Chains A and B, each alone.
Chain A
Amino acid sequence: MTTTRPVDDGTPPIDIRRLTKRFGPLTAVDTLDLTVGSGEIYGLLGPNGAGKSTTIRALMGFVNATSGTAGLLGGTARDLRLRSRVGYVGGDVVLDRGLRAQHLLNWYADLRGGVDPDAVDALCRRLSLDTDRKIGELSTGNRKKVAIVQAFMHRPDVLVLDEPTVGLDPLLQREVLNLVRERRADGCAVLFSSHLLPEVEDIADRVGILREGVLVREDTIASLREEARQRLELRFSDDVAPDLLDGVDGVASAEVDGHTVHVVVDGSVAPLLRRVADRGVDRIVSHDEDLEDIFFDYYQADGGAR
């Protein structure tokens, strides 16, 4: 279920071609090519300011491309009939604070020409969202839930999600990822920006890494994972010899500090584990939640793919 489904007439639902966006002297996005097919989840990764949000805002028609096109469902987001088939969760969720959540959802449903109320109720129940409260009184996480419900309630054919799980607790993050998977199963094309490795690893079929507006890498999550550096912290029962990890394949750096060693590993950790297997490792802590760290360092170190 992770393969791209073929598209009827060959145009992918999200079809970004040579997109460039400049803000004055700053080039936020530089000749970006990116497509997402039906039934595919594309994880867009990159540090803050890499151009993820600008790409998404161009796709949604909030900003105009300086050159190139941000194609959506065979046209652009300016076409209201096409926009009606898109669900969007913005990076900074700000919905009208004075409205009750239920009221906002009704309003948006009305603007969409009506949405099945049962679908809205089911979504609210799944996310345990109390829709009677005013949005301004909700916590960040609950506000995010409102944004997610309004993006999913009309069963869109394209989902554009800018860090949709930020601010949600792990249980709800999982529930949101499930919702995204269910849309994928219905043939929805999903553009999903994030900087959380486990989440993207979990859900994306393909991944693109943006740096300074350039797509420096695009691949399946499996092949990226092989190359990714991992930051591990090994805690031993005794003091560690400083030269313990010398000459181990894949170990890019090792920093010994009493009982603890901080290691950065390129690729597989198998050789490292073999070396430390019988040295009394109490605990292995992985610090690779943050893709920003891993990939940003990685591509900065080797000068990127430009």
Chain B
Amino acid sequence: MTTTATTTARRAPAAPGGVLRQMLRERVRSLLWWSIAVGALAAITGGSYPTVKEFGSGFDEMMEQMPEGVSEMLGASSGLVTPDGYLNSQFYSNIFPILLLVFGIMVAAWTVAGAEREGTLEPLLANPVSRTRVALERFAGVAVLLAVLTLVGTGVLAALRGPFELDPLGLNVFAAVGVATFLLALLFASLTFAVGAATGSKGAAIAVGAGLAAATYVVFALSAFVDFFDDLRWTSPWHWFLEPSPLTDGWTPASTLLPLAVIVPAVVIGTAVFARRDLR
């Protein structure tokens, strides 16, 4: 089938993973800084728990005076001074997933749409690598980076749960909440990735990813007060993640299976559209 007099030997297609490895290599340094920040945040949060526990009864009295729903909004329906209530209200229902989301959405928006906009995608695709492979390896890269950050944040708490007096919580519970947090962040990252891959617009990708993360957070946070949101809360990944919380109940289907039911189709559809559309 060769049509030309050629001096070149037939080249074997490259082993898969080259796009992923390169993406990770480029991000080692920034991952290190993010890991330090997340690890420090986890250590400060966990390290403050013994003090909080000392003032324990005071906090819980305060909580009882709050309107119904506030504690739920804080992810602390089991109280602020229990280990699970404390970690939910101070870490897992807000600052930690939000940090992961900022990082995950940023990287996911770059994978296809951002690279397309900066102009690096076209030369890459002049190599014998398929668009499907580029998209999937780069999404895998987002997953790996998010997994590392989640592992650092949760790992610090799990490893130091003795000195932090969080030891009523077992390793199994930390594993469950870690996986659930990872999947929550990966869910919004996958929507960002999918919109970027399908449209080539980095702006649209970030708008959809961050917009949905914010909107569904509002639905969850206000569902205790507003009937309208209460009817909608089943649609919120934050609700899947926090009601019931894996810190209290361990592995829950809602926090693991429901995110996957969004992530898998989003990645498949985004990649399929990307494989066929015009590059911008």
Contact = CB atoms under 8 A, between A and B. Distances in A.
Interface in A90-119: 90, 92-99, 107-108, 110-114
Contacts of B7: 155, 186-187
B8 A157 contact: yes
B5 A8 contact: yes
Interface stretch (A79-87, A210-218, A245-253, A263-271): A79-87
Which of B6, B7, B126, B279 has its CB near the most chain A CB atoms (within 10 A)? B126
Contact of A8 (B2, B12, B19, B22): B2
Contacts of A187: 4-7
A186 B8 CA distance: 10
Interface residues of B, number: 34
B1 A84 contact: no
Interface in A138-180: 147, 150-151, 154-158
Contacts of B5: 5, 8, 38-39, 187
Interface stretch (B117-125, B179-187, B188-196, B223-231): B117-125
A62 B5 CA distance: 26
Contacts of B125: 60-62
B126 A11 contact: no
Contact of A57 (B13, B26, B123, B279): B279
B18 interface: yes
Which of A9, A11, A84, A88 has its CB near the most chain B CB atoms (within 10 A)? A84
A111 B279 contact: no
Contacts of B18: 107, 110-111
A7 interface: yes
Interface string B84-120: 0000000000000000000000000000000000111
Given A7-B4, A155-B7, A62 B279 contact: yes
A79 to B, nearest CB: 9
Interface stretch (B74-82, B127-135, B150-158): B127-135
B13 A84 contact: yes
B279 A99 contact: no
Contacts of A107: 18, 22
A113 B12 CA distance: 6
Contacts of B122: 57, 60, 62, 90
Nearest to A150: B123
Given A9-B3, A95-B120, A187-B5, A84 B11 contact: yes
A43 interface: no
Given A8-B5, A64-B276, A96-B26, 13 more contacts: A8-B2, A11-B3, A60-B125, A63-B278, A64-B277, A83-B126, A83-B127, A83-B128, A88-B126, A90-B123, A110-B14, A111-B19, A187-B6
10 contacts: A60-B122, A60-B125, A83-B127, A84-B13, A85-B6, A90-B126, A111-B129, A114-B14, A157-B8, A187-B7
Closest 7 CB pairs of A and B: A94-B119, A84-B128, A88-B126, A63-B278, A80-B128, A187-B5, A111-B127
Interface of A: 5, 7-9, 11-13, 38-39, 57, 60-64, 73-74, 80-81, 83-88, 90, 92-99, 107-108, 110-114, 147, 150-151, 154-158, 186-189
